[in-house]
Structure 1
Amino acid sequence: MTVVLALKCADGVVMASDSQITDPVRELSYPAQKLHPLGKTAAWGGSGSRAVLHDLEQVFGNEAEAIVEAPDVGRALQDRVLPLLEHHYATFIKDVPGGKPGATPSTYVLAAGYSNGQPFIVDIDPHGLIGHHEVTGFQAVGSGAPMAQQAHALLTHFRMAERSVDYGVVAALRVLDALDASSPSVGGPMDICRITAQSAQHLDEEAVAEVRRRVERWVELERRALDELFD
């Protein structure tokens, strides 16, 4: 199961993902990097066909600045994603003799960050359609996306859109940890990118560990408040 999510805050955007890849055809699970830089002020991640995502990594890596600086980031992403989707779908062999039947390869792409000083959260679905999520302030892709949406809904009363990006980083990790606890196919290490209009900072293991300590403190404060609810 894969989950890649983006969360908008008052002064920044957060992208986060797990690092567990599940191959249902070969019944294998293995770690993989799902978050990638997209220029200096954005990041992207995806779910689905690893072949498509590999090709996208090369394209986005070479054309990141052109994408982020485009007048319409969604169209710029679509222009690069669609040809690769069409190529891979056209060359997909549905029935391999002697092999296990596999699902038609589908790929979702999610990108978030700042373009020309404005925040964006954009996804491209397997049909090549563009989705803009700046107003809702949250989007997730991957087989774990419904669970991520539910976990985020349970945190809406904390009004992350009105808080700083540092709160968003903690909220994103809490959502991923909730999925990790409830689904064996979601697993760490967790990847987090803290994005402002000035830069995109991909957190290292030590920084993620510090964020997790803040998550634990948050949970403890909630537990204490609940203990005192009927006092």
Structure 2
Amino acid sequence: MTLILGIICKDGLVMASDTQSEFERGSPVKRINTEKLRILNNKIVIGGAGINALIDKAIRKIEEEYNLMLQNGYDDLRILIEGEENTPEKEKTINGAEYIISEIHKIYNVQRPTFIYGSPTAEESLDFYLMIGGFSYFNGIKKPDLYILYENGISEPMKDYATIGSGSAYAEYLLEKYYDNNITTDQAIKLAIFTISEAQKMDPNVGGKINIIKITNDNTQIIDQKIVENIQNEIDEKLNSIEKILKDYFTSIKKIG
């Protein structure tokens, strides 16, 4: 269980996650120090929700293809997602993240159940989702780009923000209320911290410290935990003031109607 979110900004992107993870090892196990965001070549950030083993396998293979992309002169998130056919100018076809994830789905959700259960129609659903943020070229201009990739290999480009994981419903509600098309990365950092902090109050499967990564055209920056904690404290102070005002309003004696 998890919560990962991405916010597209006018000067880059922000991706954030909680650090609590839960899994079965004969009995339920919970960890609160799981790093859920992976940086590739200081330019692209990937996070996953679902079956950890499949997430790790997918990210490892995507990283291999990304390194191949760089060797072939590509540096474009869209190509990493969709892939690129071999051309005379390039040495090798790039198998995009869509292809990689669809192959994992085919092996573990289709072929493996067929082998185990002895039926050609047997299937399983080992769910996992990825979120990938970086920069792509649009009409020759490099702009922030954000995708969700589903377990069957289908990718969905996001126009403003995205969430995956068990806390998504709470996060979507808050982001819809407070996201602005002109938001900057510094503003989005505060919004991401607020969103995950509030989701932690409602979803017992979201917890631990909050990890934040800022992505710009030049590099990625991991936001220091002391900065995150200071912003959390500032947000809590403002929320306490707002809640007091609302409580006073709701409990005021005033006849209605």
Q: Which TM-score tier does this pair reach, normalised by the shorter chain?
A: 0.7 to 0.9
Q: Deviations over 1:84-138 (max 9, x none)?
A: 2222223259999xxxxxx83111111112234211110111222110112xx01
Q: 1:1-231 residue pairs with structure 2 within 5 A? A: 1-23=1-23, 26-31=27-32, 32-65=34-67, 66=69, 68-69=75-76, 72-75=79-82, 76-89=96-109, 90-91=111-112, 104-116=125-137, 117-134=142-159, 137-156=160-179, 159=180, 161-216=181-236, 219=239
| Distance change in 2, residues 1:115/1:215 (3 Å) | farther
Aligned CA distance change for structure 1 residues 162 and 104 (closer, same or farther; 3 Å): same
CA deviation after TM superposition for structure 1 residue 27, in Å: 2.5
Structure 1 residue ranges without an equivalent (≥5): 97-102
**Residues of 1 paired with 2:61 and 2:11: CA distance?**
29
Report the 3-state secondary structure (helix = DSSP H, G, I; strand = E; otherwise coil) of the residue aligned with 1:197.
Answer: coil
* Deviation (angstroms), 1:39: 2.7
SS at 1:169's partner residue? helix
Equivalent pair of 2:49/2:128 in contact (CA under 8 Å): yes
Give the TM-score of the pair, scaled to structure 1. Answer: 0.81
Distance in 2 separating the partners of 1:41 and 1:171: 22
- Please give the secondary structure, in 2, of the residue aligned with 1:167: helix
TM-score by length of 2: 0.73
Cα offset for 1:222?
A: 5.3
Q: % of aligned pairs identical? A: 19
Aligned residues of 2:65 and 2:80 also touching (Cα < 8 A): no
1:148 CA drift (Å): 1.3
Give the whole-Å Cα distance in 2 for the aligned partners of 1:57 and 1:71: 16
Structure number, greater radius of gyration:
2
Q: Aligned pairs, how many?
A: 218
